[in-house]
Amino acid sequence: MRSAVLFVVFNRPHCTKHVFSRIREARPPRLYIACDGPRLNTFLDQERVDEVKLICENIDWDCNVNTLYRASNLGCKLAVSSAISWFFENEEEGIILEDDCLPSRSFFRFCDEMLDLHRDNEGIYLVSGYNKQQRWRDEECDYFYSHLGGIWGWASWRRAWSKFDIEMTHLESMIETGIFTRQMGHQLGIRRQKQLLKAKNAIKDGRINSWAFPWGYTRHVHSGLSCVPSKSLIKNIGFGTQSTHTTGHAETVYEEDMGFPLRINDNLVADLEYDLRFLQTTNLPLRLLLKVSRLLK
């Protein structure tokens, strides 16, 4: 593979070990490892964080390694977003994997090729490895485009991330301009703007700690599309009580391999049917996340 990889980890050695084994097989030429610091008064956090670092430092291939280890805990929103910013300060483009995103072996080559293909297309902001429907029109194409996409295993460019707005600063005024309904049609646009507004308020109130909703908002503001594989190349293995957001039942989508060479898709238009199905299945986790947060408080 050609691309650099950012591996974002924290306190889950079991997940980290599985995902790192796939990174080791891919043998990226440059590896960036970012780890948030242990939480105060959280039993075993320091021990688990130290174990995770040992796993990630077991480099047995020719690789330039860079680390960003936080001394204290920043939380998901700041720890992940600042790690991505650090990554793109050093790289023009690259692949981002969190510790619970298990990639197929095809994932790395797919990202390599899509980063090359769309490098100079400023309308493409994200290369996703995750397909929430498992397969989508795979008999027609190897990848398609979306207003949404997924951040469970993805790639991007400095040019796109440089526009990241962590506070979703102008969301309310953007809603007033009708940007979401113009981009996605009335049904999908209304649903998306409500979801983002709800998420912004929840982040502001401290009920959730997310960088992903601001990243999605950023892409909408700049009319940035995502490139999505027709088969999911990622399985989320992090569901459980130790997770920050994925605390429910295990994800049913699994990682698949795909054939190469890829069939080129010149239809640079978002698949609105896929996006509608994507949102139909992502609103429920947001509601559950808020409910769990209220119960914990």
Interacting residues of 122 by C-beta distance below 8 A, sequence separation 6+ = 159
Q: Is the pLDDT of residue 288 over 50?
A: no
Instruction: With cut-offs at 50, 70 and 90, classify the pLDDT of residue 251.
Output: low
Q: Is the pLDDT of residue 291 over 80?
A: no
At 280, which CATH number? 3.90.550.10
The pTM of the full predicted model, rounded to 2 decimals, is: 0.91
Question: Which single residue is written with the structure tokens 């493409």?
Answer: 124
Query: What is the total count of domains within the chain?
Result: 1
The residue length of the chain stands at 297
The H helix count followed by the E strand count for the chain is 10, 10
Rounded to whole angstroms, how far apart are CA atoms 277 and 264? 24
Work out the mean pLDDT of the chain and round it to a whole number: 92
pLDDT value of residue 42: 85
Q: Is the pLDDT of residue 294 over 60?
A: no
pLDDT value of residue 46: 95
Under 8 Å between Cβ of 236 and 100 = yes
Amino acid at 205: D
How many beta carbons lie within 10 A of that of residue 69, not counting itself?
Answer: 12
Which tokens belong to 108?
Answer: 């790395």
- Give the residue-averaged pLDDT of 2-15: 97
Which element (helix H / strand E) includes 158? helix 158-161
Q: Which pLDDT tens digit goes with each residue over 144-157?
A: 999 999 999 999 99
How many beta carbons lie within 10 A of that of residue 57, not counting itself?
Answer: 12
Instruction: With cut-offs at 50, 70 and 90, classify the pLDDT of residue 293.
Output: very low
Q: Which pLDDT tens digit goes with each residue over 23-41?
A: 999 999 999 999 999 999 8
Q: Is the pLDDT of residue 281 over 90?
A: no
Q: Which pLDDT tens digit goes with each residue over 69-126?
A: 999 999 999 999 999 999 999 999 999 999 999 999 999 999 999 999 999 999 999 9
Domain encompassing residue 167: 5-296
Q: Which pLDDT tens digit goes with each residue over 177-229?
A: 999 999 999 999 999 999 999 999 999 999 999 999 999 999 999 999 999 99
Rounded to whole angstroms, how far apart are CA atoms 221 and 73? 30
